[in-house]
Structure 1
Amino acid sequence: MPIVSPVGHSEWAYALAKDLLETTLPRRWAHTQGVAEQAESLAPILGADADTLLAACLLHDIGYAPDLVDTGMHQLDGARYLRNVAGADERLCRLVAYHSCADNEARQRDLFDVLAKEFDQERPDLARALTYCDMTTDPDGRHLDVLDRLAEIHARYGPEHVVSRSITDATPCIVSSVRSVEAALSDVRQADTG
């Protein structure tokens, strides 16, 4: 696997994510493609970071790939693979490691110290943008409101699952991130029409 160059993250990320998810986890691949579509809609507010966000969106769930599962925390497993095997840019590793307020899940799984020791957090605006893309896309790649997405996650996992407990703890962070990105998009749209 080639080491990622600083240019063209998204093309490389697409090929890697497709290879890891399309056959083994087709529904997860559909979600990933929908998340990437959301990323493309954020280009007006991200400028030069749009390709980095798109790449992170394509890679955010690779830790679910059966060959990558180690800790059971897909954010950490995916970020480790990107760093240790794929030689990915550190920013991508950080975005994947902490996507969608993952520090809450790390606490639930007693992995927070491991996560914090191995990966620094990425810039807040990019982290919020990735959360927006992930948390406004359902498992089949369709776009929806963040509150509907949170309800879908709870329904899919059930109230006692670690993911549901983590999402409950992370809800304020997730909703705040999504609303912040929505406001930034609205401001750009108003400026374009005004």
Structure 2
Amino acid sequence: MVKVKICGITSAEQAAQAERAGADAVGVVLYPPSPRAVTLEQAVQVKRGLGPFVSSVALLVNSDSAAVERVIDQLQPSLLQFHGDESAEFCQQFDYPYIRAIRVKPGDNIEQLCQPYHRARGLLFDAWDAQRFGGTGRQFDWSLLPQNCPAPLILAGGLDSVNVATAVAVVAPYAVDVSGGVELSPGVKCPQQMAAFIAAAKGLAT
């Protein structure tokens, strides 16, 4: 069964709501320009809202090594998520489990872009945007996804409870990732929308 990550969680209450809805993982955004950004101290509080069997993911965008080390030391997330322009060498230097986001841009050799990150625990594919590192709420052409992904494939980009079942059927990803598709406003998740999304993704919808 496909796994589901709810990203852009901003409070312990939302984290608990995501877990009750059936989320396998929750993500916190440690990137100040994002409307869903939290501080490291707030991220620690978010994690405290989770039970022991739900993964926590810290999303970082072009952070320096010292900042990443602080996240590892203070938050101890299950996974780091590098969502900027980080090289494979940068991601691997921390000897810590990570997933790497690949922004899918038509014309790029996506399979070639993936190869350096073969040590990642997963590769997350999101829509490309010239101005933003994720969180666009836009779907991309799934036919551009690599045929031979060197790590478990995580699908993001414009997913919601209406289209996620189709996405799972067409792409057969290891996991799906949603943020804006289950929100009342940026950073404010809707428990009902989270539950509907997870049910549709996992084929539990009635």
Greater helix share, structure number: 1
Greater strand share, structure number: 2
Query: Does TM, scored on the shorter chain, surpass 0.5?
Result: no
Q: TM-score, normalised by structure 1?
A: 0.33
Q: TM-score, normalised by structure 2?
A: 0.32
